[in-house]
Structure formats: structure tokens, C-alpha cells
């Protein structure tokens, strides 16, 4: 029952985020692009701040951010000012369905940044997935206007890709503080990134939207960013990071479906091809993620002395582990606590 609820939470997180692009596209008719980005993040920060107030027990389970985390927090906030602005510009200039699918380019950006900055290993399967997602992004970024006219580049797609690159850097900043309070991270990024974007909107002298549109944008931000993160974390606590991300990978495809349903966007042959390629690339990435974090059984044999008597124990246990690869070896991380617990159980 607990696992089924966690799966539901993961899918809810995907659905809540998926509505962001098509509904934002509708609101952008009445709200400026930078103002929209500001309201989305403010809605997330304020909304999750209210939720955390009523969940003091959950909030107390995690360590609070400290001064040493400040560089990562500042980087996260600055990147979260830029990313939604680029996304709103991309949605405004391009199609909602294309922007939804291009959201998967964040996987490419995050992985490449982790490779070059943090020297993380990348498997052949993941490289293949990245190549297919990149190919799909190229297909979505060009408009085929005919044999004589050639190709026209989509500036909307360029801005969406810039947004995913910003979020790729942001993901790698957030990973360094991911063990800290999720509530605190979301509230900080929501409020301060939202205020940063709002200052830019005021400098640009964007027109202040009507109260009903402000309320709608704040509510969308709370649902699409705030609640999405909240349910994602809830799912991850039960399913683990790999399985949660696998379920969450449906978000861009749900967003594309909602774009056709709500906005009646045209379904071109190029888009269908890009959709198929993106689905294949995403499947490879999900498969690679699950393999690297799969449940694996191990048998350990070791000897120790207890009350002057030598004891030999053989313990078989199953646990989740991460594979790692270096130049000369391949292994996996073990949990010492799990081994000690298993030993105690056998002794009793």
C-alpha cells in the first residue's frame, strides 16, 4: 500500500509539473514573460512555506542550511532567476508542445555538466540516450519550410534549451545541499528567485497584470513547482531516487499531450518524429538510471572473536547501491550499518 501511494505521488509530481507549460502559454497572453516567471516561483516559495508551517515534524528531520552552503544557495537562486525567464520567452515565441518535450534536454545539460565539472562517469547507454534526446531537440528547433526555403531556426526552442542548461547547472548546485531541508531549499529558491525576476520585470517596466491573473500565476507556481517538488520528495522517501525519476520522466510527454488538448496545437510529421526519438532517448536514460541504482543481493563472509570464541558469519542481504566506475576498477557502495544490523540479527 505504501509503495502504491509513493508511485501515485511520483505520478502526481509529474502531472503537476506538466501543466506548467500549456497553462503558462495561456496566461502569457495577459502576463509579461518576466512577471510570469517571477509569479511562478513566488507561488512555489510562498505555498511551500505555508505547507512547511503545518509540517513541523517533517521539517525537523532534516539539517538546516549553513554558511558553508551559501555559494551553492546563491548559485541556485541566480540560475533559478534566469531559467524560468528563458522558459517563458521560449513558450511565448514557440509552441507549448515543443517546449514540453524540450524540457527533457535538462537531462543532457545536467549529465554533461556533471561529467566535466564533477568528473562523473557516463555509461554508453546514457550517452546513447543523450544523443537521441539531442537529436530530438534539433528536430524540434528547426522549422522545415519547404524544399526551396530550406530550414528556419526556432528562437522559441533556443530559449527553452537555454532554460534547461540553466536548470542543469542549478541541479548540480542543488546536489551539494540536497541532504539539507527540502522545505528550506524550495522556500529560498522560490521567494528569492521570484523576487529577483520581479525586480527585472519592474526594471523592464512590464505592465502589471490584473489581480485574477496574478492569483492564477501564483496558484500555478504553487502547483507546478511547489507541490510537484513536495510530492516528488514524498515519493522518493519510499521508492528511492532512481525509481522516482523513472516515473517522473513522463512529465514532458504529459505536457505535450495537454498542449494538444488545451491549445489545439498542430501535430506535424516533424514533431511526431521528434516525439518518437525523444521517447527512445528518455527510455534509455531511465533504463540506465534504474540499472545503476538497482536492488542487488550480496553474500558476505567474515570472521570475528566474541567472548574468546572465533565466529564465522555468512550474511546474504539485499540493498540498493550505486555503481561507480574509475579507470582501473568497478565496484559499488555498501552500507556498513546494514551489515552490522544483519550481523546482530544472525547472532540473536
Same structural domain, 169 and 206: yes
Same structural domain, 250 and 120: yes
Per-residue pLDDT at 247: 83
The number of beta carbons lying within 10 Å of the beta carbon of residue 83 is 24
Same structural domain, 30 and 138: yes
Same structural domain, 261 and 308: no
Q: Largest Cα–Cα distance in the chain? A: 89
Q: Which of 268, 228, 276 is nearest to 251 (CA)?
A: 228
Per-residue pLDDT at 334: 41
Same structural domain, 189 and 318: no
pLDDT tens per residue across span 242-287: 677 778 888 999 999 999 999 988 888 888 999 999 999 988 888 8
The model's pTM is 0.76
- Cell 509579461 maps to which residue? 32
Same structural domain, 318 and 268: no
- How is 182-224 classified by DSSP, letter by letter? HHHHHHHHHHHHHHHHHHHHHHHTPPPPPHHHHHHHHHHHIII
Per-residue pLDDT at 57: 67
Mean pLDDT of the chain: 79
Per-residue pLDDT at 212: 97
Which stretches of the chain drop beneath a pLDDT of 70?
A: 57-61, 143-153, 241-242, 293-348
Per-residue pLDDT at 222: 96
The residue out of 251, 273, 292 marking a domain boundary is 292
Structural domains of the chain, count: 2
The residue out of 292, 320, 336 marking a domain boundary is 292
Same structural domain, 301 and 189: no
The residue out of 266, 292, 318 marking a domain boundary is 292
Same structural domain, 196 and 334: no
Domain membership of residue 78 as a residue range: 2-292
Amino acid at each position: 500500500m505504501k509503495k502504491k501511494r509513493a508511485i501515485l505521488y511520483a505520478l502526481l509530481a509529474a502531472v503537476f509539473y506538466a501543466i506548467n507549460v500549456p497553462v503558462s502559454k495561456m496566461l502569457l497572453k495577459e502576463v509579461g514573460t518576466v512577471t510570469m516567471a517571477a509569479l511562478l516561483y513566488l507561488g512555489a516559495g510562498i505555498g511551500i512555506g505555508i505547507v512547511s508551517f503545518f509540517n513541523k515534524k517533517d521539517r525537523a528531520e532534516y539539517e538546516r542550511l549553513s554558511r558553508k552552503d551559501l555559494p551553492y544557495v546563491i548559485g541556485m537562486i541566480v540560475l533559478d532567476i534566469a531559467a524560468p525567464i528563458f522558459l517563458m520567452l521560449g513558450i511565448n515565441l514557440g509552441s507549448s508542445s515543443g517546449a514540453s518535450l524540450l524540457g527533457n534536454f535538462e537531462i543532457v545539460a545536467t549529465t554533461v555538466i556533471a561529467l566535466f565539472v564533477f568528473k562523473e562517469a557516463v555509461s554508453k547507454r546514457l550517452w546513447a540516450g543523450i544523443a537521441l534526446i539531442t537529436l530530438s531537440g534539433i528536430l524540434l528547433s528547426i522549422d522545415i519550410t519547404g524544399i526551396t526555403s530550406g530550414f528556419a531556426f526556432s528562437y522559441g526552442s533556443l530559449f527553452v534549451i537555454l532554460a534547461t542548461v540553466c536548470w542543469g547547472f542549478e541541479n548540480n548546485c542543488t546536489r551539494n545541499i540536497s541532504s539539507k531541508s527540502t522545505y528550506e531549499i524550495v522556500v529560498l529558491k522560490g521567494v528569492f528567485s521570484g523576487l529577483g525576476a520581479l525586480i527585472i520585470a519592474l526594471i523592464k517596466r512590464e505592465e502589471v497584470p490584473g489581480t485574477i491573473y496574478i492569483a492564477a500565476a501564483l496558484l500555478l507556481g504553487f502547483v507546478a513547482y511547489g507541490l510537484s517538488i513536495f510530492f516528488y520528495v514524498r515519493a522518493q522517501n519510499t521508492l528511492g531516487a532512481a525509481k522516482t525519476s523513472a516515473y517522473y520522466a513522463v512529465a514532458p510527454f504529459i505536457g505535450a499531450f495537454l498542449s494538444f488538448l488545451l491549445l489545439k496545437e498542430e501535430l506535424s510529421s516533424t514533431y511526431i518524429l521528434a516525439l518518437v526519438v525523444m521517447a527512445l532517448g528518455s527510455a534509455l536514460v531511465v533504463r540506465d538510471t534504474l540499472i545503476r541504482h538497482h536492488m542487488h543481493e550480496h553474500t558476505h563472509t567474515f570472521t570475528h572473536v566474541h567472548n574468546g570464541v572465533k565466529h564465522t558469519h555468512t550474511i546474504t542481504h539485499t540493498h540498493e547501491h550505486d555503481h561507480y566506475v574509475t579507470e582501473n576498477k568497478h565496484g559499488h557502495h555498501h552500507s556498513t550499518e546494514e551489515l552490522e544490523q544483519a550481523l546482530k540479527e544472525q547472532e540473536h
